[in-house]
Structure 1
Amino acid sequence: GMIANGALVLNLFFTLGILASFQAALTMSGIAGLVLALGMAVDANVLIYERIKEELIAGKGIKKSLADGYSNAFSAIFDANLTSIITGIILFWFGTGPIRGFATTLIIGIICSFFTAVFLTRIVYEHFLAKDKFLNLTFTTPVSKNLLVNPTFKFVENNKKALTVTGVIIAICISALAIRGLSQSIDFTGGRNFQVQFVSPVEPEEVRSLIADKFEGANVTILAIGTDKRTVRISTNYRIEESSSTIDSEIEAYLYESLKPLLTEEIPLEVFIDRENRTGGSIISSQKVGPSIAEDIKIAAFWAVVLAVIAIGLYILMRFRNIAFSVGSVVALISDTLMILGIYSLSWGWMPFSLEVDQTFIGAILTAIGYSINDKVVIFDRVREYINLYPKRGYKELFNSSLNTTLSRTVNTSFSTLLVLLCIFILGGDSIRSFSFAMILGVIFGTFSSLFVASPIAYLILKKRDKGTREVIEA
């Protein structure tokens, strides 16, 4: 455990060093990418340790188990990291400032984690083993010793139930999207953002009640910024279609009239719209996104998600040379995306934090896709290994064995990543709370789809394709 922690510290050190060499400014989104990269870095350590435990259980000595564990885990770690990097590249290509910062730190963190987890930790172990130290390592603790040891869950036998439940969930999500839709930010609808700072603390609902009447018929969302409750972000698409030269000034005047009860010292309009003079409350920043720009952003976001799924599907096809694994992965990733969108559709309007769908949310979707594929790669890597090792076994036994032997890794990795995301969700502030919420959903749904969507679909395709060759074995 301490060696893995040391690898994480070195990973952080290398990542920050590379960012410093680029003279990059570490923003909140960049910190989120850095923390998430550390959470994902644990996956490599878990994979290696689970493999070493399997070799020890098989009766091998610690030195041989260590060598075989690292060797057998390498392909799964490499594939999982590369698919995450593919997602990061697409994030960087299609994203704007904050998303690019997130993608940059994520890519650098993943590359550094591959180096520290696969190479540096092995050097440490081999150094001490050569001196006849660490010879009694079991890679277990009293708590984990009997946790998910040799599970025998019948995953394949429950394929129909799993796919039926998944189908019902997706149907509910699609219905919610069709009926309620999503709370789209001005990134996708066009509109104006105003950050207004008050002298005294205010509640978002109080601001909304004052503005709603003035901006009748328009979408208005209010989000608290910071922890002092003195700054809010007001987003509205009120009269965004108009192109008059005075429209921006008119909107600011409407905003001033609406917020007068919350302003102090009876400040005039000139002071309220002065970004530098914050006496008594004023607009401190504003942003406008026209309808045509919003449409371009929406199209770019759509293609970013589509290209990420296609790129990952093609890589899985190329790497595993089997269409069943590629189709299973793509269908599972699509189901992950639909379920995240469905939860956002069902939840916006009553959750205690903003669930606006903006470019940051698209970044969260792409990151969730990149993380989700890690599980699929590990499971399919084990299936491929067992197909070669046990050519006389039927697919039912092969898939059940693969899912059960990788279950401990799946649970451990998902749990450790959820801990990181919960820290970001609770401590990261309002600006990235929606992002971390989407990622939490991504980890939960990604784990679910690995076991109950991707694997069943791959099994059914393989069984149908090889009908006649393994059919007798299945019987």
Structure 2
Amino acid sequence: YANAFSAIFDSNLTSVITGVILLLFGTGPIKGFATTLIIGIICSFFTAVYLTRLIYILCAKSKAFENLTFSTPLSSKMFTGTRYNFLGARKTSFIAVGIFVAVIVISLFVRGLNQGIDFSGGRNYVVQFDHPVKTHELDAKLTPLFGGAQLSVITIDDDTKVRISTNYKIDSEEEGVDQEITKILYDGLQDELNGMSMEDFSTTNENIGIMSSQKVGPTVANDMRTDAYIAVILALIAMFFYILLRFRNVAFSVGALAAVAFTAFTIVGFYSMFWGVFPFAMEIDQSFIAAILTVIGYQINDTVVVFDRVRENVGLYPKQSFFDTINSSINSTLGRTVMTSGSTLLVLLCIFILGGDSIRSFVFAMIFGVVIGTLATMFVAAPVAYLTDARRNTGRSKTAA
């Protein structure tokens, strides 16, 4: 517990920092998500560091705990004695990263991003039906009626309620645009309304039909988009300076920043390449930004654990080359890294499969970010930190070549 405290404290505090940034720059449900995230981190920190230690101390005196082990026959040999040369593979890693970044840049220029209503401006309509409906069928019926404007249909709560979003005539100042869109929705959904009148469909106090509507103008959308950019940039800057403050080594800050930036950029690029391909809305909106910031916190969490072990090993083995110290530190924390990422992925996969369409894009960004973030810690953060620390590189080992 004593040896692990600094890594646990640092990794949790960096996640709290991203939560605070979400709280300051998010709106609506994003603020609620940030509040829940911060409370959850604080509570889990208290239970993991204090309560579990108290329980072990109390139970350690009993005979049942005399032969306590923390492994099973299956896990006892997993990730023990690994000696993978992570830094030796840095050239291959950087080539792969370069290729991936080039592909993403091309995709951003060619395909762009599927910006949600939050960032592009538009109208949201929540429509309730009296029977289950399929979103892809509704999308196919409505898309031709909106003349090429952006349209998305996702499930809310259950299969009887959907959210329909469109930027159709969002820049128009003409009167009657709202009524026009309502009429288009009514005509396109005729087969699902069971003879409901136009008046009943458009009345929000009815149990069936349009339950609520919201318009996000271009100016508001631009403000939201600007706040999102600021939030991500502030998160990156905050991570850089916190790592610098805690580790007193700019190399660790540069390595962490490189890994975090690559992870965030990769998620954005993946959404650019595959929106419209996957069977769910891959929109760039506030929920997506919340996912990016949460992944940044997770990424730093993972990186801090490795760097903390590096700092510990530098003190324990001052004569060992920095190259070997970093390699041995990554290998010694590999089991923790894989198990933590694996347990996180299990939860996210359950939410992705069993959750509704309204959060599927958010959860997918988290899943992709956890995988990329874990790899980036080992193949981006550590090599960049090694190359940046010229002072220690003078003592390279023979394996460094």
Residue 332 of structure 1: CA displacement?
Answer: 0.5
Residue 93 of structure 1: CA displacement?
Answer: 1.0
Alignment of 1:435 onto 2:366: no
428-437 vs 366-375, greater mean Cα deviation: 428-437
RMSD: 1.8
Map of 2:282 onto structure 1:
355
Alignment of 1:185 onto 2:116: yes
Alignment of 1:289 onto 2:216: yes
Q: TM-score, normalised by structure 1?
A: 0.80
**Residue type at the aligned position of 1:465:** R
93-102 vs 306-315, greater mean Cα deviation: 93-102
**Residue type at the aligned position of 1:97:** G
Give the conservation status (yes or no) of the 8 Å contact 2:16–2:41: yes
Aligned to 2:74, which of 140, 143, 160?
143
Partners in 1 of 2:360 and 2:71 — Cα distance?
35
For the residue of structure 1 that corresponds to 2:261, the secondary structure is helix
Give the conservation status (yes or no) of the 8 Å contact 1:193–1:234: yes
133-142 vs 449-458, greater mean Cα deviation: 133-142
**Residue type at the aligned position of 1:369:** I
Deviations 1:117-153 (A, max 9, x none): 1111111111222456522223221111111111111
Alignment of 1:271 onto 2:200: yes
For the residue of structure 2 that corresponds to 1:465, the secondary structure is coil
Aligned to 1:119, which of 50, 53, 68?
50
Partners in 2 of 1:167 and 1:187 — Cα distance?
31
Aligned to 2:169, which of 222, 235, 239?
239
Partners in 1 of 2:79 and 2:137 — Cα distance?
51
Aligned to 2:302, which of 351, 359, 375?
375
Give the conservation status (yes or no) of the 8 Å contact 1:174–1:338: no
Structure 2: segments with no counterpart, 5+ residues: none
Residue 352 of structure 1: CA displacement?
Answer: 1.6
**Residue type at the aligned position of 1:365:** I
Q: Greater relative contact order: 1 or 2 (C-alpha under 8 angstroms, separation 6 or more)?
A: 2
Map of 1:255 onto structure 2:
185
Partners in 2 of 1:178 and 1:185 — Cα distance?
18
327-336 vs 354-363, greater mean Cα deviation: 354-363
Alignment of 1:165 onto 2:120: no
For the residue of structure 1 that corresponds to 2:50, the secondary structure is helix
- Between Structure 1 and Structure 2, how many residues are aligned? 400
308-317 vs 173-182, greater mean Cα deviation: 173-182
**Residue type at the aligned position of 2:284:** V
Q: Pairwise mapping of residues 439-458 of structure 1 onto structure 2 (< 5 A)?
A: 439-458=366-385
**Residue type at the aligned position of 2:84:** F
Residue 388 of structure 1: CA displacement?
Answer: 1.4
**Residue type at the aligned position of 1:305:** V
Alignment of 1:426 onto 2:356: no
Residue 261 of structure 1: CA displacement?
Answer: 4.0
Alignment of 1:206 onto 2:137: yes
Q: TM-score, normalised by structure 2?
A: 0.95
Structure 1: segments with no counterpart, 5+ residues: 1-69
Map of 1:104 onto structure 2:
35
Partners in 1 of 2:219 and 2:95 — Cα distance?
41
For the residue of structure 2 that corresponds to 1:149, the secondary structure is coil
Give the conservation status (yes or no) of the 8 Å contact 2:387–2:393: no
Taking structure 1 as reference, are residues 184 and 115 closer, same or farther at Cα in structure 2, changes over 3 Å only?
same
Map of 1:465 onto structure 2:
391
Identity %: 53
Give the conservation status (yes or no) of the 8 Å contact 2:322–2:393: no
Give the conservation status (yes or no) of the 8 Å contact 2:386–2:393: no
Give the conservation status (yes or no) of the 8 Å contact 2:322–2:392: no
Q: Pairwise mapping of residues 383-394 of structure 1 onto structure 2 (< 5 A)?
A: 383-394=310-321
Partners in 2 of 1:337 and 1:252 — Cα distance?
38
Partners in 1 of 2:372 and 2:36 — Cα distance?
24
Give the conservation status (yes or no) of the 8 Å contact 1:340–1:442: yes
Partners in 2 of 1:124 and 1:224 — Cα distance?
44
Alignment of 1:407 onto 2:338: no
